[in-house]
Amino acid sequence: MSMRKMIAEKVLWETLKRWKKLSPELGRIQFLKTVPIFNELSTWQLKKVGGIVFERTYDVGELIFEEGQPGAALFLIIEGQVSVEILKEKFTAKLAVLEKGAFFGEMALLDESPRSASARVMEPTRTLALYRNDLHRLIQTDPETACQIYKALARIVGDRLRSTNDMVQAEGPAEKIAA
């Protein structure tokens, strides 16, 4: 990072701290910095991302999204607990329980395919939602930030694919899967 950028960031942090010590904007930027998709972004860039995300609050039992619905946004958990589940023939299988700092629904940022699972709130939850088209628009207004987000997203999706492959390979030989 260049000297000029570092100074500019420092000035921004100081201003933000002085201006709004407990402001939601500052809290949002600090939170975004902890999320893997955004942790390589500078404060200026996080401020920009913070300006395009939507904050939503959910009650226990509420569905954030449903399996089969078109996906439009990525969700980041600021606080609370969310269960990711899929509907089997007669029961609901819980795939994962996500907590503060986790994110889900990232495939919606890449395409318009239907949601592969549902997300149900287990504890009162606050989330930040990043809408696909807002990220697309960021390509035009701030290509550097948009590219960094997509790069991080590609890395995360790749990691998840790799770990899924490992899991499948650990379960049995390849022929069995093909059969």
Partner 1 sequence: MSRNADFERKELERKFRRQVFHSVFITLTLILSGLLFWKLRSLLLPIMVGALLAYLFRPLKDRFQIPWLHHELRVLTLFAFIGLIIFVGISSLRKQMPNERQKLELQVRLKYKLNEKFQQVVGSKDGSNPVGKMIAKEAGPMMDQINHLLDLTPYEVDLFKRYREGHNGEPPINDRYFDYFQANQTTSDYTAMSRDTAAVGSHAKDEALGGEPKTKKASLMEGLSIWMLCPIIFIFLGFDNGQMRRYFIGLVPNRYFELALTVVDELDDAIGAYLRGTLLECALVGLTLAIGFVLIGIPLSVAIAIGVISGLVNAIPFLGTVIGMVIGLGYALIAESVVPILPGLNANDLAIYVVILVVLAHVLDNVLFQPFVLGSAVNLHPLVVVVAIISGSLLMGVWGMLFAIPSVVVVNTAVQTLFKELKAYRII
> 141 vs 169, which CB is nearer to partner 1?
141
Which amino acid is present at 127? T
> 58 vs 104, which CB is nearer to partner 1?
58
Binding mask 31-50 for partner 1 (x = CB under 8 A): -------------x------
Least distance (Å) from partner 1 to the CB of residue 34? 23
> 53 vs 149, which CB is nearer to partner 1?
53
Tokens of 158: 């790749």
Binding mask 130-159 for partner 1 (x = CB under 8 A): -x-x---x--xxx-----------------
CB 141 within 8 A of CB 82: no
Least distance (Å) from partner 1 to the CB of residue 146? 13
> 74 vs 153, which CB is nearer to partner 1?
74
Q: Can you tell me the distance from the alpha carbon of 48 to that of 138, in angstroms, rounded to the nearest whole number?
A: 9
CB 33 within 8 A of CB 9: no
Which amino acid is present at 68? G
63-92 residues in contact with partner 1 (CB under 8 A) are 63-66, 68-73
122 binds partner 1, rule: CB under 8 A = no
Of residues 90, 87, 97, 91, the one with CA closest to residue 117? 87
Phi, psi (5° rounding) for residue 97? Answer: -115, 120
Q: Can you tell me the distance from the alpha carbon of 139 to that of 129, in angstroms, rounded to the nearest whole number?
A: 18
> 6 vs 168, which CB is nearer to partner 1?
6
CB 40 within 8 A of CB 152: yes
Q: Judged by CB under 8 A, how many residues of this single chain contact partner 1?
A: 25
Least distance (Å) from partner 1 to the CB of residue 72? 4
H/E segment holding residue 56: strand 54-58
Tokens of 63: 């569905």
- Residues contributing to the site for partner 1 (CB under 8 A): 44, 51-52, 54-56, 58, 62-66, 68-73, 129, 131, 133, 137, 140-142
